Amino acid sequence: MTTPQTTATDILVLNAGSSSIKFAVFDAQLSERVAGLAEGIGTPDARLCIAKTDLTAQFSDHPGALAAILAALPEHGIDPQALAAVGHRVVHGGRKLTKPLRITPDVRAEIASCTPLAPLHNPHSLAAIDTMTGLVPNLPQFASFDTSFHATNPEVATRYAIPRVEETKGIRRYGFHGLSYASLVRRLPDLSGTALPSRVLAFHLGNGASLCAIRNGQSVATTMGYSPLDGLTMGTRSGGIDANAVLRLVEDNGLERTKAILNHESGLLGLSGGKSDMRNLMLDPSADSAFAIEHFCYWSLRHAGSLIAAMEGLDAVAFTGGIGENAVAVRARILRGLEWIGARMDVDANHARKLRLHASSSKVAIWVVAAEEERQIAMDAQTLMETL
């Protein structure tokens, strides 16, 4: 067993999903000490992976998974009782929680009040918060919200054209992937060696996918709306679909079945007939897989044009997320579709998986920026700790 070497500056970051908890521990310099994943929560296939090592573990719920994570940390030199803080990713902060915050009873209550807006996510974050409170009562806890980066969107971008009485119930555009975009804004100047471009079109492409128009470091438009279902074609989510088509699906299938279709059976999975992972689609020579990939790229470009218009121009493109960082052919297809605005890709740089992708003749800078959502959460917590 490794002797715990944790100092009072280490921060545990928790990202609780519907059936998993991603976690990482960062030191005072925000270097990652250890990371892992508890997955399959509530299933016979539950497992805990820490530092790329699979451990035998059984947990029927999120509190049990979190207890298993804390029990495993000492083997990697980390004493849970000596942590300085824990930072949580909370998917939905609603109208009021628009910046990272220390979790107080009032903040916890507000997170709970946002549960109707994110019923598949916020309850799991609350379970992690409450479990940590029970296990380490005096440990400061902080929350970073996936919606908060888009709080700078103008009202004309967030308001649906529905009666005010419905809008006051919280039916509006919020946007998501905010932690990824905040990290991108922070990191791009370091990668490029220059100031952040005035107008950045950011592609967060993964199983969940969205675009963000970032002007002078702030979000002014994004493709996801009231929920993470809207916008681009995604791994299993439909992306944009006419509201009357949704109503027809409800008439034919019922509400719960329609939710399952649109969130879990559509997108790349539905188009290809069974494949949601871009890597598998690109290895499959079938016409259905080729069409699914083209659909993904086409709608990324359709929405890109809208966001470029929202910024009234374009100075830089940045790719992040699993597909954005790794799918060479997808990046190439999207960048070909942006040549009309002066984007010119360096083909060799793209194939070599370089961070800088723009050719010398390009009027638009093109970068690949690795997603660092967990480090962003740790940084948020560290910044707030300095004010305690």
Which residue in the list 54, 61, 130, 146 is annotated as catalytic? Answer: 146
Q: Rounded to an integer, what distance in angstroms lies between the CA atom of residue 83 and that of residue 86? A: 8
Q: Which of 3, 8, 23 is nearest to 83 (CA)?
A: 8
20 touches 38 (CB < 8 A): yes
226 touches 147 (CB < 8 A): no
Q: Rounded to an integer, what distance in angstroms lies between the CA atom of residue 70 and that of residue 63? A: 11
Q: Rounded to an integer, what distance in angstroms lies between the CA atom of residue 382 and that of residue 87? A: 9
| Residue 46 amino acid letter | A
* Strand partners for 15: 22
Q: Is 242 one of the catalytic residues?
A: no
Sheet with strand 11-16: strands edge to edge? 53-55, 47-50, 32-39, 20-26, 11-16, 85-90, 141-145, 101-102
Burial status of residue 313 (CB atoms within 10 A of its CB: 0-12, 13-18, 19 or more)? exposed
Distances, alpha carbon 379 to alpha carbons 53, 91, 128, 253, 337, in Å: 26, 17, 19, 45, 36
Distances, alpha carbon 282 to alpha carbons 56, 239, 325, 328, 349, in Å: 33, 20, 15, 10, 20
Tokens of 283: 């290895």
148 touches 180 (CB < 8 A): no
Distances, alpha carbon 307 to alpha carbons 200, 204, 256, 374, in Å: 10, 14, 32, 27
Q: Rounded to an integer, what distance in angstroms lies between the CA atom of residue 158 and that of residue 94? A: 12
Q: Rounded to an integer, what distance in angstroms lies between the CA atom of residue 309 and that of residue 302? A: 11
| Active site (catalytic) residues | 146
